Amino acid sequence: MAETAEPLQQAWALSYQDATASLALARTLRVTEGIDPAEAQLLVALGAVRLVPVLEARHELEQARRLCAAAQPHSRAEWGQALCDEFEAMLHRREGDVEGSARLQAEADARPAGPRSAMDRFIAQNSRAITTKLLGRAEDSLRHLHAALDAAQQTGWPGPVISACVNLGDRHHDLYNLEDARQFSLQGLNAATAAGAKLAQLVATCNLIYIHHALGEQREAHAMGLNLAALLPGETSEQVLDMTPPLALGWMAGADPVRAEQLLRDVQHANVREPASQWSLAWGWQMARCCLMQGRTDEGLAVAQQALQASEAAGGAKPCYDLMVLHRTLSDAAEQTAQPDLALKHLREAHAVYEQLVGRSARARYIALDVTHQLAQARHERDVAVDGRRSVEHDRQRLSELNAALQAQMAETQRLHEQLREQALRDPLTGLHNRRYLFELAPGLLEQARRQQQALSVVLLDLDHFKLLNDTCGHAAGDLVLQRFATLLAETLRRSDVICRHGGEEFVALMPNTQADEAEAVMQRLLETFSALQLELGRRRLPRGTFSAGIALFPGHGSTLEQLLSRADRALYAAKHQGRARIELVPRSDFTSLS
């Protein structure tokens, strides 16, 4: 962007902080004496393609093209036309032609470009982030947003920084990278509050309610809900409707399901819109949770089932986080209505979605680190190019240092990548490996047992009455029990045994070179130790716990992990139905035909 008069600078600075105010100022400036009409019209076009009806926006954009084509010098005309191309791509998105928007942006990227200001780069990167998100290219969108934040910080204006931070928080939340999502959303909220950017405050606050809830930070989620309630008065009915689910979640986090339910019922007429969308799924699982929290279990189950059925009938992509929580809610409701098979089915569906989210989270974190490195390297190379008058000898020495630094950075990036992969294969609460690790490792162990003609026991363990513990003593108590049980499990079994958290309160142990009766003896010792364990949370003594387990034996009960887990699951259910706190073996006579 070329140097402009102070009023134009003010309009540019406002364009991503208060788009309505920027558009009004730009319309005044384009008829003001001494102001470049082409640049003023560019600002009008930028506001129009984002705020006004499409036909009016297209007229303003065509006017900007005409004025920029006549601008002098030629470099200024090229700059104006390039911005008009960016605005054209935004307009294509508003008209529903996302593919057309992507084509225009690709053509713009392929053309030689002169020096561009930080604001120009922010507009381009932010727009590409939106386009690639709509096309389902989440990783490309994330990279563009990080580049947009880098450019935004160089503008020196709060608006672009607020927009980039809020969008990055939302995108990292979509990818379940909750720590980065919280960091960027808080940064965006603080900047928006300082600048008085009301819409950005609302969006960031809604995002933070969901992020804190996903992280188990109920106090923080409730505080954000109170903040949202204070911000909403005076907003349009459409905005209030959009923000009702996060507001209700804030009240739920504050243990006020009655108030949350009333909010959700106030907008119940809208819950059929886009049944596969985040809004509808969030409405469904939150309404069901409100029912469960008030003891209306049958109603909660019906509400959650209706939300899931509507989403499945609508087809299309579904927001993974809300789908996961909906399945968890269905599992809890089914358990409370004495439907264990249905509860297990939805618990497994929830865990399958959770595995997808964990993979996305690790990848998003890696991309964030990679982009940070690339941007730092690009800035460094730019600085080197500007300072081109140094002596040849000094340049050679510096190049050697840069190469060494680059090699070190590449090694660090590789280390981080490996660390992120390890994190993706471990359960963060218990420190045990997770289900993904189990399914990666098991085929090799089974093949080794087959070649060496050795037995291998597969044990499926499930903590008894764990849901009741969570409901009566709270999730902190449940987390403590899971952690201590995982520790006992690791201490009791051998180092050669593979122990994984299968999901929720369910664990799996693979015990190579171990017969079923040997595995049963080990599990019996573990049961005696665990049932004698007395845990305390603060000053509260927790009830003693037990577990039930089912044992299947390779190769007699199956030749694959899936078959063995299915047999062990059947034995586990037999243990549950026979009174819990016991270990059951798969009856040999049931599987005599298996090889």
**Residues with a known catalytic role:** 505
Q: Which residues lie below 8 Å from residue 18, measured CB to CB, with a gap of 6+? A: 159, 197
Q: At what angle do helices 6-14 and 37-51 cross, to 10 degrees?
A: 10
Q: H/E element holding 45?
A: helix 37-51
Q: Copy the structure tokens of residue 169.
A: 């928080």
Residue type, position 205, single letter: T
Helix (H, G, I), strand (E, B), or coil: what is residue 389? coil
Where do runs of H (alpha helix) occur along 156-277?
Answer: 158-174, 178-195, 198-214, 218-231, 237-242, 244-253, 257-266
Q: Which long-range contacts (CB under 8 A, 24 or more apart) does 121-126 make?
A: 121/147, 121/148, 121/151, 122/16, 122/148, 122/151, 122/152, 122/155, 122/160, 122/164, 123/46, 123/83, 123/86, 124/86, 125/151, 126/160, 126/163, 126/164, 126/167
Cα distances (Å, whole numbers) of residue 470 to 58, 65, 276, 348, 478? 57, 63, 30, 19, 5
Half-sphere exposure (Cβ direction) of 169: Cα atoms closer than 13 Å: 26
Q: How far apart, in whole angstroms, are the C-alpha atoms of residue 177 and residue 169?
A: 9
SS3 content of the chain, % helix, strand, coil (to 5): 70, 5, 20
Helix (H, G, I), strand (E, B), or coil: what is residue 498? strand
Cα distances (Å, whole numbers) of residue 285 to 30, 105, 239, 304, 511? 50, 39, 21, 6, 39
DSSP per residue, 118-183: HHHHHHHHHHHHHHHHHTT-HHHHHHHHHHHHHHHHHHT-HHHHHHHHHHHHHHHHHTT-HHHHHH
- In which residue are the tokens 């208060």 written? 18
* Burial class of residue 549 (count of CB atoms within 10 Å of its CB; 0-12, 13-18, 19+): buried
Q: How far apart, in whole angstroms, are the C-alpha atoms of residue 506 and residue 573?
A: 12
Please report the sign of the dihedral spanned by the C-alpha atoms of residue 473, residue 476, residue 477, residue 482: positive
